[in-house]
Amino acid sequence: MGKVALVFSGQGAQYTGMGKEICENSKAAKAVFDMADSLREGTSAQCFTADAKELSVTVNTQPCVFTVDLAVARAVAEKGIKIDCVSGFSLGEIAALAFSGMLSDEEAFKLVCKRGELMDKAAKANPGAMLAVMKLSSEEIEKICWEFEDTYPVNYNSPAQTVVATKEDNVDKLIEAFSNVKGRAKRLAVSGAFHSPFMSEAAEGLMEYMSDVDFNAPEIPVYSNYTAKPYEGDFKALVKAQVENPVRWQTIVENMAEDGVDTIIEVGVGKTLTGLVKRINGDIKAVKVENLSDLEALDC
């Protein structure tokens, strides 16, 4: 049998009630929610009862999704499933750092709260938009981006999808440019142009915050969004870099497969990463765990 990887979802699929069932049925998961509430009062209540509008605000989304991600991961581990390596999409990477032992749960939660605060501030200071582009190769998408000012490929999700960040004034012309070469672009419901130079101020602020944060060596490999390889070298620089640089998800999955991973479990909210894994490598068994029935059905 090959290796098992755990991957942590990012923001975008959050919904009212997320994590409630897992919290009520797993002691390990409840401990994560209790930790979050002790540092940010009302986090559990926000996950369980807040409406979509409240949950979509970045300063709420990031700590709430982090909490659900890590709680579900702890429930999976509680079941006795051995995890060989981890990664996470965007903010999910911070949950992966906690699961790997690089940060304590408390330090990781505080880090993700600061990250959300800084990214929200940067998004308001430097307004931008994000587009999911389909039916074109990443090379074709890059070529078109180069023709527009302040436009960057930011999420290399799969062979069939790349996400682009740009300034507001470019959106309509950019959608038309992709359509002209038989591509399809859809605007994403996000509050900023994440993983791009639009977030440089947030990245600098996060680096300053981390001056007082101690990182440990990972107990299991953590694949970085920035390098698509396991964390090594300057851990803080990698956390900073992923805020203002592309997420190389396709390459992460390809590298995991080369390193012997044949099963990937997505934990947290939604099944976006599970779908991407299947498009990247159909030989990998990809499953998601989000609720109690998913957890009970998990067999690795």
Q: Is the dihedral of CA 93, 95, 96, 101 positive or negative?
A: positive
CA distance 23 to 185: 37
* Residues 100-147: tens digit of each pLDDT: 999 999 999 999 999 999 999 999 999 999 999 999 999 999 999 999
CA distances, 142 to each of 79, 95, 188, 273 (Å) = 43, 30, 18, 22
pLDDT tens, position by position, 71-81: 999 999 999 99
Relative to beta strand 161-166, strand 151-158 is: antiparallel
**Bridge partner list, 222:** 86
What's the whole-model pTM score? 0.96
List pLDDT tens digits, range 177-225: 999 999 999 999 788 999 999 999 999 999 999 999 999 999 999 999 9
Could you confirm whether 90 is annotated as catalytic?
yes
Fold of 129-187: Alpha-Beta Plaits (3.30.70)
CATH of 3-125+196-297, one of 1.20.140.10, 3.40.366.10, 3.40.250.10, 3.40.120.10: 3.40.366.10
Which residue in the list 9, 195, 196, 224 is annotated as catalytic? 195
High-pLDDT (> 70) share of the chain, %: 100
Q: Where in the chain is the domain with CATH 3.30.70.250?
A: 129-187
| Residue of 90, 191, 196, 224 marked catalytic | 90
Stretch(es) of the chain classified as CATH 3.40.366.10? 3-125+196-297
